[in-house]
Amino acid sequence: MKTKFIGLLLVLLSSLGYAQQDAQYTQYMYNTTVVNPAYAGTRETLNVFALYRTQWVGLDGAPQTANFSVTSPIAKNLGLGVSVVSDKIGPSEENNLAVDFSYIINVSENYKLSFGVKGSANLLNVDFTKLNIYNPGDPRYQNNIDNKFSPNLGVGLYLYSDKAYLGFSAPYILESNHYDKSANNTATTFMATERIHYYAIAGYVFDLSPSLQFKPSVLTKLVQGAPLQVDLSGNFLINQKFTLGLAYRWDAAFSALVGFQASDSWFIGYSYDMDSTKLNNYNSGSHEFFLRYELFTKKNRILSPRFF
């Protein structure tokens, strides 16, 4: 237990500083609106998505993330998305509600370009009684933080065809202070600042045979004060039903991904992460589950599902 507590302490210290603060996903390729609002409506169907991620299993206070989103085209060239994200780590819990709008134009015979904007509202709760505080008289820990509200805006671009995509985004461009002064707290400093996270995503689908497709993809995340994060993945789609893949988060973790297209509308997926750092000594990996439902009409029904 002592070693687990020491590991958690290191995690919390890094997350309260200038490290990457947005929720982390292994299967970002199915959950794109979270990082890029321009993705909303690009699948041309009503898309309902639910995901749950439990990170660093066995480590007390480790991150847990739940995500629910609905996206759909709402008019010609317009897309709309609504998402809710609940992210817990240690004594803190953040709940985020976001609305995404996109405008899509044709740039060639095969490619479309989507412009996206995101508006979001964030509520932060921190229960300092869950911590073992070295100095109980420290004024920063005398009062819990209850439903601290902070609004935000985001932007994104998403270029895509039936075979490829490329996106750039900053889903939260307003910087805000976290864990700063609360009611009856005279502290004048803050423990963390929400920095702007810049994302770039790309992927391409290779047709290896009529029943086998291969899609390599990459996500990069850049934020001030933290190393560049690069996620590399490769997924095979077999008979338009089964998805198998591997992923690597640079200097962080290896992942295995599986998915099953249960019907035209239902798709279920799972991934497992194993840390490649010393943190692996304090946990038994990370699990991520998701379920996607798409409502097709006669007009937009397709013979085979798009691979992103």
Q: 38 phi and psi, to 5 degrees?
A: -70, -10
What is the C-alpha end-to-end distance of the chain, expressed in Å? 42
What is the pLDDT at residue 20?
A: 42
Name which CATH class applies to 35-173+195-295.
mainly beta
pLDDT in tens, 137-176: 776 666 778 888 999 999 999 999 999 999 999 999 987 6
Q: Residue 304's pLDDT band (boundaries 50, 70, 90)?
A: low
Identify which has the larger pLDDT, 167 or 264: 167
The domain locations on the chain are 35-173+195-295
Distance, in Å, from the CA atom of 71 to the CA atom of 294, rounded to the nearest integer, reads: 10
Could you identify the residue written with the tokens 């991904």?
A: 257
pLDDT in tens, 210-238: 999 999 999 999 988 788 899 999 999 99
Q: Residue 85's pLDDT band (boundaries 50, 70, 90)?
A: very high
pTM of the model: 0.85
The arithmetic mean of pLDDT across residues 37-51, rounded, is 95
Contact 282, 4 (CB under 8 A): yes
